[in-house]
Amino acid sequence: MSQEMIKIDGAIGEGGGQVVRIALCLSALYRIPVEIHSIRAGRAKGGLSAQHLKGVELLQEMCNAEVSGAHIGSVSLTFKPGYLQNKKYEFIADTKTAGCICLLIQIALPCALFSSRAATYILKGGTNVPFGPQIEYFKNVFRPLLNRFGADFELDIVRKGYYPKGGGEVHLRVNPVRNLKPIDLLDSGLVNSITGSAYVAGVVNINAAQQMRNDARTTIIEELKKRDIPVPTIDIETYQESRNAAIGNGSGINLMATTDRECIFGGSGLGSGRPGPIPPGKEAAQQLLDPILTDSCVDEHLQDQMIIFMVLAKGTSRVKVGKKELTCHAETAKQIAEIMLGSRGLKFSMEKDDKGSTVLECNGLGLENEFIN
């Protein structure tokens, strides 16, 4: 383990929980002790929430780390990792709130891929909640991207959980890998299908799901026709969650677009029961359309999630991120990685292609799993 403590300003970039997740992941993977101060300084209520704390505790258990400052509301934390040598086949992390399960997956998955043995991670909290990916997005959009890096996972959604009750449960099964492959995503191709589902749970009427579906479909067709882009097949189902498959009341929509170059884009929206600035169906459609209209190979939510895997891959990854700037979340993830691993030669670069779209390039450091021959 590197003996020099790296200090991270939690207010950097978007100043949220992502700073903690990326820093601790890289700390555990490269056995670099870190100290994070001003945790979640960019949020109205700073410090570690139950969700972030549970992520810290899960990673602590995975790598036998020495940790101080791990408590609710903490604005500073030190993390001194041991080895990712699993002595267990099962880990449990329960936020006991509606904390986003997908954000627990984000902190656990990279380390699980480089641990000593396969394990199951039983994660409890919110599956479809604000301020984080919906579980369907993680399974249907993120997973295929991870497959390109040469890794995979199994995801069993035992029970859905919504805000504010939570109560969802997901079982994540991960087999470790020797290393990750770099990816080249430079041609998004043409969209050949759009699929998705709109759901309601509890006392929410099925009409809400039908409205979300109709809003999404109308928005997609209008925007594509406006730009003379061929409208692909659109198939959005609606359904009512069974009583034993979900806790509490909720509604939402998840969309997925696939292209003839095997790019996958996602878009999601949550119904809150109260009128919002953008109806959830239209919001999901706009998220889905954004990479299509800006010539990107990944949607905005994939941008920040792919950063750590580009860093770990063995070789140079190149991904076209379109005619917009990197998202604040992606830029933050990139900055944290450079702070922690810049001395080891990690470098990102950005250039324009012949269509004026930005290509993000990363010379991955090629981490190898010392437990796999």
Positions annotated as catalytic residues are 329
Task: Show the tokens assigned to 2.
Answer: 């590197």
Q: Could you give the CA distance from residue 217 to residue 229 in angstroms, rounded to a whole number?
A: 15
> What is the arrangement of strands in the sheet containing 264-271, beginning at the earlier edge strand?
233-240, 191-201, 250-259, 264-271
Whether the Cβ atoms of residue 127 and residue 157 lie closer than 8 Å to each other: yes
Task: Show the tokens assigned to 339.
Answer: 């702070």
φ, ψ at 30 (rounded to 5°): -110, 5
Q: Could you give the CA distance from residue 90 to residue 10 in angstroms, rounded to a whole number?
A: 30
Any idea how long the chain is?
373
Dihedral sign from CA coordinates of 352, 353, 356, 358: negative
Q: Could you give the CA distance from residue 148 to residue 156 in angstroms, rounded to a whole number?
A: 21
Task: Show the tokens assigned to 33.
Answer: 């002790």
Helix (H) or strand (E) holding 358: strand 358-365
Strand 90-94 vs strand 119-125: parallel, antiparallel, or unpaired? parallel
